[in-house]
């Protein structure tokens, strides 16, 4: 039986352990000739538009960069905490757990927690995967989260346990394998079982067309936004005269110094300018269309990309809610699950969980925020001190009392007399 398992899955004694790094390996695992490396590097290559689009070149596209920045910077500003369940429905922050300081204060001695989320979320939004090495002490408790470059991390399958194995390329050219317990991995959408697909790779044709249109506009306006023209002469010209005429005309017509000045032509020669072609006239419309085309891959509302052609005061708020519901919340859910899997033990995952505080997304609208506080206090969901703590204000005596509307009362249960209302009580006092 052991020989059969070895023949099918390989030698179990040589399979990487689930915890702890495997011995360093050398070879061609990350050679540029390896097709697997091209996938790791984001599938950089030529597009139909004629430009190469990879992770780095895509950052030069304003729409793609805006989508990546919106996701990364939003995750960086949202605080995340580790909570411990108390009782049946209560909870408290587990500030005594070592993982709480890693996600809320500093991931390691040189990286604040917000910067760590920014780096990993940038790789997640661009490459489809975010990685970090989980450094542990002798007792197995996490003490550091060290961010990794997603372009230097490969994922393969353990042939025996079917668990993922992470191959990390080191600066000295060597590679090292790690088990799932040593790597924090948050992934995006993709057909691969163990890693997400790069949105840049999926949107490479749309990004390539946007870059081509930008280059075309730069060249058009670099020539003074002037169309080409035709010089007409009633007779044929010698090569000498043609060369002199071409040089003189180019020096006069190009550049901004001679813009608007009168041009002198000799011997009955006339100049007939050509009008903009239909492609040139529709360039602006095509560039606007590409912004919407690229934003679909990240599910970013157009108004967040400064494309305000169809945005109004009434629908901007609804589109912001769509960004939170359909774009951000699935990413936050993936982050919380990945943090729990990497930083908590199996037993701790029954009593502890991570959660992002999304209340900061509404802080820009002070009127909406205080209106929400007012409704929450009047309905008894929050007391005044809890609302003040959300605004980093000190509590006051008596502010821990929960309010209750005077015109409501508990609903009567079947077979019992209805509870007296405030109106009935006032009538009784009058009698």
What are the residue boundaries of the structural domains of the chain, listed by start? 15-225+278-363, 228-274, 365-412
155: β partners: 166
**Residue among 16, 280, 23, 25 at smallest CA distance from 165:** 16
Higher pLDDT, 244 or 25: 244
| pLDDT at residue 418 tops 70 | no
Alpha-carbon distances of 302 from 162, 207, 325, 331, 371, rounded to whole Å: 41, 16, 15, 19, 27
Tokens of 263: 């041009």
pLDDT of residue 377: 92
In angstroms, the CA 99 to CA 78 distance is 17
174 secondary structure, DSSP code = -
The winner for highest mean pLDDT among 85-89, 339-343, 409-413 is 339-343
| 54-82 pLDDT per residue, tens | 999 999 999 999 999 999 999 999 999 99
Q: Is 269 helix (H, G, I), strand (E, B) or coil?
A: coil
pLDDT of residue 87: 82
Residues 68, 125: contact at Cβ < 8 Å?
yes
pLDDT of residue 345: 95
What rounded mean pLDDT belongs to the chain?
Answer: 80
Q: Is 131 helix (H, G, I), strand (E, B) or coil?
A: strand
Task: Give the sheet arrangement for strand 129-136, strand by strand.
Answer: 142-148, 129-136, 183-187
| 229-274 pLDDT per residue, tens | 777 777 777 777 777 777 776 666 655 555 555 666 666 677 777 6
Tokens of 190: 């993709």
256 secondary structure, DSSP code = S
Alpha-carbon distances of 174 from 28, 149, 169, rounded to whole Å: 10, 15, 6
pLDDT of residue 138: 93
58-94 burial code (b ≥16 CB/10 A, e <16): bbebbbbebbbebbbebbbebebebbbeeeeeeeeeb
DSSP string, 55-110: HHHHTTSHHHHHHHHHHHHHHHHS-EEEEEEETTTEEEE-TTSHHHHHHHTEEETT
Q: How sure is the predictor about 208, in pLDDT bands with cuts at 50, 70 and 90?
A: very high
Q: Within its chain, how far is the Cα of 195 from the centroid? A: 16
Strands 153-157 and 164-169, sheet pairing: antiparallel
Non-local (6+) Cβ contacts of 115 within 8 A are: 76, 107
Q: How sure is the predictor about 31, in pLDDT bands with cuts at 50, 70 and 90?
A: very low
| 99-139 pLDDT per residue, tens | 999 999 999 999 999 999 999 999 999 999 999 999 999 99
């Amino acid at each position: 039986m052991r020989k059969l398992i070895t023949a099918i899955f390989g030698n179990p004694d040589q399979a990487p352990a689930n915890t702890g790094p495997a011995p360093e390996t050398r070879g061609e695992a990350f050679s540029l000739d390896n097709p697997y490396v091209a996938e790791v590097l984001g599938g950089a290559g030529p597009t139909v538009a004629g430009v190469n689009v990879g992770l780095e070149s895509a950052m030069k596209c304003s729409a793609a960069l805006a989508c990546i920045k919106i996701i990364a910077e939003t995750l960086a500003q949202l605080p995340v905490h580790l909570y411990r369940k108390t009782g049946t429905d209560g909870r408290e922050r587990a500030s005594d757990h070592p993982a709480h300081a890693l996600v809320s204060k500093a991931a390691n001695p040189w990286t604040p927690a917000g910067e760590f989320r920014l780096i990993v979320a940038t790789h997640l939004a661009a490459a489809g995967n975010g990685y970090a090495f989980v450094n542990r002490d002798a007792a197995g408790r996490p003490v550091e989260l060290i961010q990794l470059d997603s372009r230097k991390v490969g994922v393969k399958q353990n042939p025996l346990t079917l668990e993922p194995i992470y191959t990390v390329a080191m600066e000295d050219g060597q590679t090292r394998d790690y088990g799932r317990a040593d790597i924090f991995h948050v992934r995006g959408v993709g057909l691969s079982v163990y890693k997400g697909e790069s949105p840049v790779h999926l949107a490479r044709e749309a990004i390539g067309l946007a870059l081509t249109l930008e280059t075309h506009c730069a060249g058009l306006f670099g020539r003074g936004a002037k169309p080409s023209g035709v010089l007409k002469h009633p007779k044929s010209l010698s090569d000498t005269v043609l060369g002199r005429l071409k040089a003189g005309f180019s020096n006069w017509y190009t550049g901004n110094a001679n813009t608007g000045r009168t041009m002198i032509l000799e011997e009955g020669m006339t100049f007939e300018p050509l009008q903009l072609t239909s492609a040139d006239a529709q360039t602006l419309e095509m560039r606007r269309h590409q912004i919407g085309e690229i934003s679909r891959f990240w599910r970013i509302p157009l108004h967040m990309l400064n494309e305000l052609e169809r945005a109004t005061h009434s629908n901007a708020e609804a589109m912001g809610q769509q960004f939170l519901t359909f774009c951000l919340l699935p990413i936050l859910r993936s982050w919380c699950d990945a943090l729990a899997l990497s930083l908590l033990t199996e037993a701790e995952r029954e009593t502890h969980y991570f959660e992002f505080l999304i209340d900061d997304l509404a802080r820009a609208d002070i009127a909406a925020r205080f209106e929400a506080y007012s409704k929450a206090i009047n309905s008894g969901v929050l007391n005044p001190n809890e609302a003040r703590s959300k605004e980093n204000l000190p509590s006051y005596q008596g502010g821990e009392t929960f309010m209750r509307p005077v015109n409501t009362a508990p609903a009567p249960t079947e077979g019992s007399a209805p509870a007296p209302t405030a109106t009935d009580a006032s009538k009784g006092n009058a009698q």
